[in-house]
Amino acid sequence: MNSIFTGQASNSQTIDSLTVIATIENIKWAGTGTSIYISLGPTLQLQRFCETASAGETIALSIDLKKMFGRKNITLLEIQGISFHQVGRETSFGADFLNGLTLGVAGTIKSNEDDWALESVTLIANDIYSNTTFKQINKWLHAPSSHLDTVWSGQVLYTNWINSDKKPIDLNSQTYPVRWMPYIGDIMRWRSYDPSKIPGVGQLIGRLNGRLIGHQLSSGQSEQLESNTTTSSYTWVYTPEGSLIYRRWDKTNHAAYIRHSQLGSGRPVICAGEFKVIDQQLQSVISMVNDASGHYKPDGGACLRYVAEKFEALGISTEHTEWKWRDSAS
């Protein structure tokens, strides 16, 4: 995903080892007799992943970071994509067998024995962090020619990295805590820190029939997010668990405003702000996202890149979204 936030992130976790683990489907003919190559870096450098693969086999490869990325040490943010490559084989057959078949090359036919079924891919960094973006691929892969072809590729989501405790790692190596003065104000006013008990608070879960869909935490019911007016928006927080928690805010009713700290259960969050939803060509579109939060005060929009990534992961396009962030110096 092309991002306008490239270069805004601060230090991320630095690693010096990366292992890719692929599992082949345990079904008949799921393996392959030809070599598979892997690429992860920005320059499409290739490393042999395996010479052959058998049905049900789990293959682990230690990635040559120097070859893939040009350095022995990289950050998790740099692992943005992964792809497998393969050269298909052409097998010669007798004229009687070939009679009546449509051939790409005279006297040869593309063999299906190179096809294979990929079940899952897991990335392990420094033996601490793991990424299961591709835990359920379950797809037959096919090399269409006798040249080196890409047979599968995927985007590695940073938000899917977890540590050895199975907890999401802090994006940008940090989360944003509630500032002390707003926190004291919340306590003095007995504001609830349990978003599941606050009416109207939901979790954004994706798109259905062109509409943004959320899950109401208090009622357990799904809802369609309504379009905003000039005097309304949705306040939101992005939690370290990878959830986008929101609530509609009518700005003409200040007494009904729910603070970001309440949406975030009073805990640190990855990012917080507002977004607006409009109807465009019979679809709900997120027209604006910002990081305006007086309780958390995110720094200069650096965290918004991960919010954009989360939207894309939920199937919500941000092609027409306007991104705004407060000046980190203010």
Report pLDDT for 305: 82
Percentage of the chain beyond pLDDT 70 is 72
pLDDT for the residue numbered 184 = 37
Q: What percent of the chain has pLDDT over 90?
A: 28
Give the Cα separation of 42 and 288 in Å (integer). Answer: 30
Q: How far, in Å, CA of 310 to CA of 176, rounded? A: 18
Domains of the chain: 14-162 (2.60.60.20), 174-324 (no CATH)
**What is the reported pLDDT for 303?**
79
Q: How far is CA 305 from CA 25, 126, 196, 254, 297, in A?
A: 34, 24, 27, 29, 16
Using CA atoms, how far residue 162 sits from 13, 130, 172, 316, in Å, is: 12, 6, 14, 23
Range of 5-9, 30-34, 102-106, 220-224 with top mean pLDDT: 30-34
CA distance 254 to 5: 32
Summarize pLDDT for 128-183 with one digit per residue, the tens.
889 988 999 999 999 888 888 999 999 887 767 877 666 555 443 333 444 433 43
pLDDT digits (tens, 9 = 90+) for 257-314: 788 888 887 777 788 888 999 886 445 556 567 655 554 555 557 778 888 888 888 8
Mean pLDDT of the chain: 76
Please state the pTM of the whole predicted model: 0.52
Q: 């692992």: which residue's tokens? A: 79
pLDDT tens, position by position, 34-79: 999 999 977 789 999 999 999 999 999 999 999 999 999 998 878 9
Q: What DSSP state is assigned to residue 313?
A: H
Helical ranges in the chain per DSSP H: 65-69, 95-98, 180-188, 260-263, 304-313
Task: Compute how many other C-beta atoms are within 10 angstroms of the C-beta atom of residue 291.
Answer: 24
